[in-house]
Each structure stands twice: as C-alpha cells, then as structure tokens.
Amino acid sequence: MPASITVEGLSKRYRLGQLAGGYDTLRDQLAALGRGGRRARTEEERELWALRDVSFEVQPGEVVGLIGRNGAGKTTLLRLLTRITEPTGGRAILRGRVGSLLEVGTGFHPELTGRENIYLNGSILGMRRSEISARFDEIVEFAGVERFLDTPVKRYSSGMYVRLAFSVAAHLEPEILLVDEVLAVGDAEFQRRSLGKMEEVGRSGRTVVFVSHNMATITRLCSRALLLETGRIVGDGAASELVARYLTAESGSQAHRTWPPDEAPGNEAFRLHGVRIVDGDGRVASSVDVREPVGVELTLEVLRAHVPATPWLALFNDQGAHVFSAMDTDPMWERGADQGIHVVTAWVPANLLNEGTIFVSVSMNSFRSGGKAERQLHVDDAVSFLVVDPAEGDSARGAYAGSWPGAVRPLLTWSRGVRRQDGVAERR
Amino acid sequence: MIADASLAETVRPVVIEPSRGLLRINLAELWAYRELLGILVWRDIKVRYKQTAIGVAWAVVQPLATMIVFTLVFGKFANFPSQGLPYPVFVFSGLLPWLYFASSLTASSMSVVSNVNLVTKVYFPRVLLPLAAVSVPAVDLLVSSVVLVVLMLWFGVAIGPLAPLILVFLLLALATAFGTGLFFSALNVRFRDVPYIIPFLVQIWLYLSPVIYPVSALPERWQWVLSLNPMTAVIEGFRWALLDRPPPDPGKIVVSAVTAVVMVVAGYAFFRHAERQFADKI
C-alpha cells in the first residue's frame, strides 16, 4: 500500500515584505514599538526560508504531530499540504481524499441560519451536498443546537457557534485530515468531547497530520511526531520521545545568553552583556515550574554615566501574543546610572504565566516629552524559557488536564458567600 | 458513517508542486468543485436579500430611478436619438444589461479580498470567487426585466421574434465582466486602491457604451472604435433581439466578441499567475 503522504524536498521561501507588512495603522505602529527591531531584521535578511528541503512519508492510518517552536515551519508545512499556498520547490503527493481544518467555522456567515451554515461550511470543507444531508442530524445532535437551527448564527452564543462549527468539521470524514490547533476553543466540556472525537478519528484508520502547541494533546493523540527547527525536520519518531526531547532541548528554549564584549548589543552609552532566566536559587532554568517565581537577570554595562534610561522587558508567548511589558521603576535609572556593570533581576511572580514557551525581549529606553521613547538598545527574543505545570493539583488548572488558552493563567483567590433569605450577602 | 475505503481508489492523488505554465486550465477540477460554486452563489444571493432593508425592491428602484434621470436629461433636454423607440424604453433596454455588467464587474473585482477568510484557510480553485460574483447579479437582472416588460406594455412596444437571443448577449456581458473582474480581483490583493478605481472605471465605461445613445448616432469610423468595447455588441444586440431594432453589423459583433474572449483569457492568465501568492499577500 503506498504512503498516504509523500513529501520530497519541499521548500517555501518568503521574500521581503511578504511577512512583515508595512505599518499602516496606528495600532501596528504601537505593536511595532513593543516588538522592536523585527521589521529591521527581516529587511536585513531579504528572504526567509520558512521551510527548507523537507522530506518524509506518512503511512495510511498514522497520526502524526508536528512540533517545534514558533517560526520553525509547522504552520507553513501545513499550509503547503492544504494547498493554501504554493511551495517554492520540491513536491508533495497526497493519496486519498483530503480534508483540512485550519480553523473552526471557515466561511461561516453571521447572517445565515445554523442550517444554512452547515451546508455552506460543509461544502467549503469539501463535503458533497448529499453527504451533508446524510449526516445532518448527527451534526446537529453533536453540536446540540436543535432549537436554534433556523436562527442566524450571529445570535448564537460563542459556545454554540464553536460547537456547531466543530461539529460540521468533525463529520467531514476524509482519508487524510490536516488539522491545526482547532481544539483550543470552546468550554472545557466541549474540549473534552472534541478531543474524544479526534481520538476516534485517529483510531478509525484515517491519516492525520496535527499541529499543536499543546504537548499534552500531541502525546495523547499522536503516535508519531516530527520536530521542526528553522524550516527543517530535526527529529522523527515516537511522539512521547520527541515531545520530551523538544521540551528539554535547547531548540525549545534558550535560557542563558551572553555576548562577547565587542558584540554586545547597545550603543555608546549602554551595552547588554548577558541575559539569564533564573530560579529562586539563582540557577539558570530553561524550564520553570508554573508555581515558582522566575527571574530575568540582565547584565548591563553603563559606558556613559548619568544617561537617563530604563531597562524594559517584553514577554511573548509561543503564539506571538504579547503577554506583558515591564520596566524597572527604580528612580536611579531615571536620574542616570553610574558607570560600570549593573546586574538587575526582574521577578515574575509564581502562578502568573500560562504553560508554554515564553520569549523575552530586552531593551533600554529613554523617555522624551510627549510620551515618546528613545531606544538605547534592544534585543528581540533574547532568551526563552518553558513554563511547565507538573499537574499536581495545586496550580491554577486544578485537576483539569485539558488545553488552557489565555496569555496568562493567574491563580486567583475565590471568595465564597451565601445569599441569605433577606437578600443580604454574607461573606464567609 | 460513509465507508471511504472504496473512495481511496477513485480519488486521484493530489500532487503539490510549484506551478508552471501560463493558463493551467484544469477543467476536471473545476467540475469537481461545481457544487461549491453553486453554494457560493446561493450564499451571496441569500445574504444580499437578507441584509438589505427593502431587498428585492432595490433591483427595481435602482434601474427605474436611473432611467427616469436619463430620460429627463438625455431624452427630454438633450433630445438624443433613440432608434425610433420611446426614450424610456430605449434607455431601460440598455440599462438592463449595463447594470448587470456594472454590478458583476464590481462584485467580482472585490471577490478575492472579500473572501479573505476562505482564501487563507481552505483550498479550492480561487477562480470560483470571481465566477460566483458575476453570477449573483443575474437575479437582480431577472427582477428588473419585469420592469422592462411593464414599460414595453405601457408604451406599446412589441417584443421581437428573436428575443431568446438576448441570452447570447448576456453571456457576452458575463464574459466581459468576468475577464475584467479576474484582472482586478487579483490586483486588489496587492493594491488596495482597486475599490477606488472601480466606480470611476464603471462611470467612464458607461459613457463608452451605447446605453443613452444608439451607435448609429456616431460617425462610421467611431462605430468601429466603439465595437472594441464588448458592451457595445451586448447592448445593440439586446435591442435588436428584444425590441426588433435594426441588426448590428456582424463585423462589429465579431470584434466585440473577440475582445471579450481576449479579456477572459488574459484576465485568467493574470489571475492564475497572481493566485499563487494570494494567501501570502492578502
């Protein structure tokens, strides 16, 4: 039996401007300020190989997970296999009916009713009209929207909307299914059901290629994984082994970085000599327990005394979301520091970050009148580290083991009270 | 559940590689996606009539109001010739195919960008988008043609014996809108100026088409120049077949038809070339 998917030397090159668009809006301008030299960097590179000479085969019935840090080429590979974009070189052959799910509810139209959207979305995903009709009742039942079939979906709650959208997709039943992270939606109960449905798909002999940032989902659903790094496959094997390797290897995080004196980023006033991620004992930590505080330690050299500038951090998660920014508010920086080496550590409290890889950008900024900032030095993604949850029940996720979306995951204090008969709330 | 085991043998393997060639016409694939084309057309019709407050009435009000203004300005004040027809009937019979063409051209030029959520998330032959867009305004055409019938009855204008031939001329209008729409919809992905160009283009094009005047009112030399515009043949042909007016010069019809075919082929080649980067650029 021939392989379901054969990929030979597949490559994709993006040219300048295709990835980093112009800054057209004020919002983009602001995002650029936080993101720093990203645009300048792509301009230097001129072109970027998002995927380079990738080859592999997937046998019928295999469930393969694609893992790797952001920008490693997972999504590009999936976009090529789903034919959304064309390769620059190489080729891929897919044998069998292909279904792709890059998001839930592709093409849903808010003005149309649930019934109409089932047909619309189903057709867009590649189902025939007759197939949709045959599975219509199943789809509606799985989504639990019987009563709202003839209501425009713009009046649906977001939960109903996602359930209906996932339900159509779940009944697609192709031989080759290409999926991107669609499970990170909906409430916990629905996620459990959709994960179950995905497992069912995996067991039913279909070939599945699955991209996710959630390593727990990968190990649960996939038998095999491909590890990508800067557009190439650097690992191919059992999912559990590769996930472990990814989580521990340097490819997943780089928690300690130093520069030789002549290459240290900065200007004539400030230089950054090193950045380290440290745990409570001051040791370098590439992965940190979500329940422990984590320190970002900067080694800064002040070459010119008394230049007012403040150290800044910007944290991004592996989906590119800007988690938060922080600056050292010590008035010493505003007055201007003395010459010499300064070591400062910013402590991120325990139980704040969500699980996953966190990338830290570092800068020194001087403030000017009118709310403008002048950048003295900036390093994008200077260091990164992995936030892990040993899932012992005392973190913010409690006993729940499923996907947990959100930029942060604080452990909140929940107070409890009872409402008395006379309507006065009593706090306990 | 439908057993897919048998399907494996029937489905041809999908080969993904850098595309080559200019036109890359894949009729088998287009045929396989015919249901999606139908669904896209159905979606647009449905949404159009759901979103607008007076729905179908727009298809009556718009041409009727335009006809009244044109009749007052060009028929009464300027006293344009009208091939011996009452001016309202003359201008409405030109407006009917023209408005179909103008909406098709506008909709198809926006079609790729307005379906950005599909283009970046799922594969299908992209050419379905402008193709669906030129089909949707046919519904409006059907509705507003009722107005023409009423006008013909009112002014006592008889229907011509060759009336079914108007379908051929409408097909020519569709081809012209499709060819132009292919070009602009692909261009729109890279340059978002297109929405500003289209209304301007449509306005100029209107005056270069014999909607408010008959071709016979022009000197012979200019009649040939005008026939480079396929809409000339469409509108002249429309009046000839439907209202029994003098037949257009076959030579000029051929020129118009050839122009339309060239527009479709060139537009298609341009679209297919640009299409490769839609998802990256959009």
- Residue A225 lies inside a defined structural domain of this protein: yes
Residue A342 to residues A275, A303, A312: CA-CA distances in angstroms? 12, 11, 14
The predicted complex's ipTM stands at: 0.85
| Domain spans in chain B, listed from the N-terminal domain onward | 33-273
Do residues A360 and A386 make contact, with C-beta atoms less than 8 angstroms apart? no
| Same structural domain, A234 and A349 | no
Q: pLDDT value at position A92?
A: 95
Q: Strands A322-327 and A310-317: what pairing?
A: antiparallel
pLDDT above 60 (res A17): no
- A120, B51: Cβ pair inside 8 Å? no
Angstrom distance (rounded) from CA A31 to CA B133: 36
Q: Same domain, yes or no, for A334 and A290?
A: yes
Give the pLDDT confidence score for residue A114 in this predicted structure.
Answer: 93
Q: Is A227 helix (H, G, I), strand (E, B) or coil?
A: strand
CB contact under 8 A, B46 and A116: yes
Average pLDDT over residues A42-66: 83
Domain count, chain A: 2
Q: What mean pLDDT comes out for the span A267-294? A: 90
Contact B8 A111 (CB under 8 A): no
Residue A298 sits in the same domain as residue A213: no
By the 8 A CB rule, do B188 and B129 touch? no
For residue B80, what is the DSSP state?
A: -
- The answer on pLDDT for A3 being more than 60 is yes
Buried b (16+ CB within 10 A) or exposed e, B186-224: bbbbeeeebeeebeebbeebbeebbbbbbbeeeeeeebe
C-alpha distance from residue B57 to each of A11, A146, B67 (Å): 53, 33, 15
- The pLDDT > 90 percentage for chain A reads 38
Asked if A125's CB is within 8 angstroms of B39's CB, the reply is no
Residue A328 lies in a domain: yes
Is A405 within a domain? no
Count Cβ–Cβ pairs < 8 Å, chain A vs chain B.
111
Query: Averaged over A2-31, what is the pLDDT?
Result: 66
Chain B residue whose CA is closest to A125: B122
Tell me, yes or no, whether A171 and A241 share the same domain.
yes
DSSP character string of B142-198: HHHHHHHHHHHHHHTPPPPTTGGGHHHHHHHHHHHHHHHHHHHHHHHHH-TTHHHHH
- Measured distance CA(A125)–CA(B121) in Å, rounded: 10
Substitution target from B6, B19, B36 for chain A, most A beta carbons within 10 A? B36
Confirm if A338 and A299 have CB atoms less than 8 A apart. no
Confidence of residue A132 (pLDDT cuts 50, 70, 90): very high
The token pair that represents A131 in the structure block:
């197939």
Asked, for residue A17, whether it belongs to a domain, the answer is yes
Measured distance CA(A171)–CA(A191) in Å, rounded? 16
Give me the sheet containing A5-15, strands edge to edge: A47-58, A5-15, A89-94, B14-16
The alpha-carbon gap from B17 to the nearest alpha carbon of chain A, in Å, equals 4
Residues of chain A positioned with their CB less than 8 A from the CB of B1: 173
pLDDT for A343 beyond 90: yes
- Closest to A207 measured CA to CA, from A305, A99, A119: A99
Q: Smallest Cα–Cα separation from B202: which of B113, B68, B78, B107?
A: B107
Domain boundary among A184, A218, A248: A248
Average pLDDT, chain B: 89
Strand A322-327 versus strand A356-368 pairing type? unpaired
- How far apart CA A127 and CA A118 sit, in angstroms, is 11
Contacts of A107 in chain B (CB under 8 A): 117-118, 121-122
Q: Which residues of B touch A131 (CB under 8 A)?
A: 2
Task: Judge whether residue A188 has pLDDT over 70.
Answer: no
Q: What is the mean pLDDT of chain A?
A: 83
A191, A267: one domain: no
- pLDDT(B241) > 80: yes
DSSP state of A20: S
What 3-state class would DSSP assign to A351? coil
Residue B4 is nearest to which of A79, A87, A97, comparing CB atoms? A97
Which residues on chain B are in Cβ contact (under 8 Å) with A88? 18
Interchain contact, A86 vs B123, CB within 8 Å? no
Residue ranges making up the domain that contains A279: 256-388
**Digit-coded pLDDT (tens) for B98-134:** 999 999 999 999 999 999 989 988 999 999 999 999 9
| C-alpha distance from A171 to closest chain B C-alpha (Å) | 9
Answer yes or no: are the C-beta atoms of B275 and B126 closer than 8 Å. yes
Domain shared by A178 and A100, yes or no? yes
Asked if residue A81 has pLDDT above 90, the reply is yes
Please report the pLDDT score of residue A311 as a whole number.
95
Question: What band does A25 get if pLDDT is binned at 50, 70 and 90?
Answer: very low
Residue B245 pLDDT > 70? yes
Mean pLDDT of the B223-252 span: 91
Residues A217 and A119 in one domain: yes
Q: What angle do CA A7, B24, A54 make, to 5 degrees?
A: 15
Residue A344 inside a domain? The answer is yes
Residue A99, domain member (yes or no):
yes
Question: pLDDT band at residue A105, thresholds of 50, 70 and 90?
Answer: confident
Of A96, A97, A100, which has the smallest distance from its Cβ to B122's Cβ?
A100
Tell me whether residues B18 and A89 touch, CB distance under 8 A: yes
Q: Say if residue A239 is in the same domain as residue A299.
A: no
Per residue in A368-400, pLDDT (tens digit) is 777 777 889 988 778 888 888 877 778 888 877
More confident residue, B184 or B4: B184
User: How many angstroms separate the CA atoms of B114 and B185, rounded?
Assistant: 10
Confidence of residue A29 (pLDDT cuts 50, 70, 90): very low
Say how far apart CA A303 and CA B189 lie, in whole Å.
49
Contact A357, A384 (CB under 8 A): yes
Closest Cα to residue A180, out of A162, A153, A198?
A: A198
**Which tops the pLDDT comparison, A119 or A197?**
A119
pLDDT band (50, 70, 90) for residue B141 = very high
Distance CA(A297)–CA(A293), nearest Å, equals 13
Query: Using the beta-carbon criterion (under 8 Å), do B47 and A109 form an inter-chain contact?
Result: yes
Query: Lowest mean pLDDT: which of A182-191, A237-246, B170-179, B228-237?
Result: A182-191
pLDDT the model gives residue A253: 53
Question: Could you give phi then psi for residue A294, rounded to 5 degrees?
Answer: -130, 140
Residue of chain A whose alpha carbon sits nearest to that of B43: A120
The partner residues of A426 in beta bridges, in order of sequence, read A418
CATH number at residue A14: 3.40.50.300
Which residue is listed with tokens 């006379």? A422
Tell me if A418 is assigned to some domain: no
Contact across the interface for A83 and B118, Cβ inside 8 Å: no
For residue A280, give the CATH number of its domain: 2.70.50.60
Residues A287 and A161 in one domain: no
A339 exposure class (CB count in 10 Å sphere: 0-12, 13-18, 19+) = exposed
Which pTM was predicted? 0.71
Beta bridge partners of A312: A327, A363
Alpha-carbon distance A164 to A161, whole Å?
Answer: 5
Q: Both A230 and A289 in a single domain?
A: no
Q: Write out chain B residues lying below 8 Å of A84, CB-based.
A: 119-123, 279
Helix (H, G, I), strand (E, B) or coil at A175: coil
What is the DSSP-derived secondary structure letter of residue B279?
Answer: H
Could you tell me if A373 and A327 lie in one domain? yes
Question: Per the domain annotation, does A396 fall within a domain?
Answer: no
Beta carbons of A307 and A336 less than 8 angstroms apart: yes
